[in-house]
Amino acid sequence: MTATSPGPLRRDTGDRREDTHTARTALPTLLWIPAVGGFALIALPVFGLAWKADWIRLPELVTRPAALQALELSLRTAFVSTVLCVVLGGPLAVVLARGHLPGLRALRAVVLLPLVLPPVVGGLALLYLLGRAGLVGQYLETWFKIRIPFSTAAVVLAQTFVAMPFLVVSLEGALRMAGERYEEVAATLGARPWTVFWRVTVPLLFPGLGSGVVLAFARAMGEFGATIAFAGSLAGTTRTLPLEIYLQRESDVDAAVALSLLLVAVAALVVVLVRPRSAEGVR
């Protein structure tokens, strides 16, 4: 935030962390009770999962071929989905934040739909668009011999569908915070629209890009409902880690718990690795 605000009013660099001697406003004590409750509601179930885990068998459980295959597929598809989100969602965010079109509000509402939609509904929607009998799918099948359901491409599409809004929201937020004035200044300085886009707008996106990418990747890694409805579940092709967990739960609860912990670890790793850099912003 500090990085994108124009900040000329401040004389210092504004980056110094508060030292421990700084007097701070005290929080009302009462605030701690719901705050701790909220934290507990999130942290304790994860703790419960770790408690339930069979730690001795854990290494064996998470290195089973089926588990590794599912993890590899999840990482691969989530990576491709995240790239797709950036390539498609980035320009979409710019259009939403900077475009001057009638009906842009309605457009934004549509883009945000996957955020509020149950993923299963998203999966069904994709199925009725791209499925063999779907609106577009039937022509893909008869004209190009392309069949999307039950393929890894379907997994990527399902993940991109649910993850895209996270990226768009982050990037659009960064652009709105920066405002349009930088682009206006760049234009009067003689920069063509394309130059303005690449040398001004894109760098302004960076503060939002870190958190957007983390959220989109994490959302893609965790995708379940849309995938199972649209892509099915086949080891090595469409059975991602969450689907493998759901399936293992039927036969081997210990394995399901172990894989859940694996997913928690991967998610935590991603958040820890990428988040601080995004908080730093463009500096």
Partner 1 sequence: MSTVVPARATALAAEIELARAGFALSVALGLAPGEVLAVLGPNGSGKSTLLAALAGLLRPDRGRVTLGGRILTDVTAGRHVPPHRRGIVLLPQRPLLFPHLSALGNVAFPPRSRGVHRRTARVVAEQLLSEVDCLELAARKPAQLSGGQAQRVAVARALAADPELLLLDEPMAALDVDAAPTLRALLRRVLRGGGRTAVVVTHDPLDALVLADRVLVLSSGAIVEQGPTRSVLGRPRSAFAARIAGLELVSGTACPDGVRTPEGAVFAGHRDPTLLAGEPAVAVFPARAVSVHWERPTGSPRNIFPVTIATLEPRGDVVRVRAGAATGGPAWADGLHAEITAAAVADLELVPGARVWFAVKAAEVALHPAAGQS
Partner 2 sequence: MRLAAAFATLALVATLSACGTGPGGESGRRTLTVLAAASLTETFGQLEKRFEAAHPDVDVRLALGGSSDLAQQIVHGAPADVFAAANPDTMGSVVRAGLADGAPRTFARNELSIAVPPDNPRKIGSLADLARDGVVVVLCAPQVPCGAASTKVQREAGVRISPASEEQDVKSVLGKILAGEADAGLVYVTDVNAQQGKVRGIPFPEAASARNDYPIAVVRGSERADLARQFVELVRGEAGRDALTRAGFEVP
By C-beta, is 67 or 86 nearer to partner 1? 86
* Nearest alpha-carbon partner for 212 in 39, 109, 88, 106: 88
Task: Give contact residues for partner 2 (rule: CB under 8 A).
Answer: 32-33, 36-37, 39-41, 44, 127-128, 131-133, 149-150, 228-229, 231-235, 238-239, 246-253
- From the list partner 2, partner 1, none, partner contacted by residue 216 (C-beta under 5 to 8 A by kind): none
Structure tokens at 129: 């668009």
- Taking the least distance from each CB to partner 2, the nearer of 26 and 101 is 26
> In the complex, what is the shortest distance from the CB of residue 32 to partner 2, in angstroms, rounded to a whole number?
7
- Closer to partner 2 by CB, 134 or 210: give it: 134
32/198 with CB nearer partner 2: 32
Binding partner of residue 150 among partner 1, partner 2, none, CB under 5 to 8 Å per kind?
A: partner 2
State which residue, 128 or 197, has the beta carbon closest to partner 2.
Answer: 128
Pick one of partner 1, partner 2, none as the site partner of residue 84 (Cβ within 5 to 8 A by kind).
none
If contact means CB under 5 to 8 A according to the sort of partner, which of partner 1, partner 2, none does residue 191 touch?
A: partner 1
Nearest approach in angstroms of CB 205 to partner 1 is 10
Amino acid at site 168: V
Binding site for partner 1 (CB under 8 A): 2-4, 6-11, 13-15, 178, 181-182, 184-193, 195-196, 199-200, 203-204, 206, 282-283
Taking the complex as a whole, how short is the minimal distance between the CB of residue 243 and partner 2, in angstroms? 8
Amino acid letter for position 103: G
Q: Which is nearer to partner 2, 247 or 258 (CB)?
A: 247
Name the minimum Å distance from CB 214 to partner 1.
20
